[in-house]
Amino acid sequence: MTRPAISNSTAAKPIEALIQLNHSFIMNLTQDLDTEILSILIAVFVIFLRNTF
């Protein structure tokens, strides 16, 4: 028995939801953090996601 392959569209949906959740969480922290540090954190997070998935 071979496993059914997960297509990119179904795999992207939970990842997209995770990014949106993380984005809204980051937007709540914007008042406390410097914008430059924030953009670096977002960039690092996106790169990490691309390398992992």
Cβ atoms 11, 53 nearer than 8 A = yes
pLDDT of residue 12: 61
Domain containing 40 equals: 14-52
Question: Between 4 and 38, where is the model more confident?
Answer: 38
Measured at the CA of 40, the angle between CA 15 and CA 11, to 5 degrees, comes to: 10
Does residue 7 lie in a domain region? no
Does residue 24 lie in a domain region? yes
| Amino acid type, 39 | S
User: Does the predicted model carry a pTM greater than 0.85?
Assistant: no
Give the pLDDT confidence of 6-30 residue by residue, as tens digits.
Answer: 555 555 677 788 778 877 877 777 6
Considering only the C-alpha atoms of the chain, give the largest distance between any 2 of them, rounded to a whole number of Å. Answer: 53
Q: Is the pLDDT of residue 53 over 70?
A: no
In whole angstroms, give the CA distance from residue 32 to residue 5.
Answer: 43
Does residue 8 lie in a domain region? no
Does residue 48 lie in a domain region? yes
In whole angstroms, give the CA distance from residue 21 to residue 40.
Answer: 18
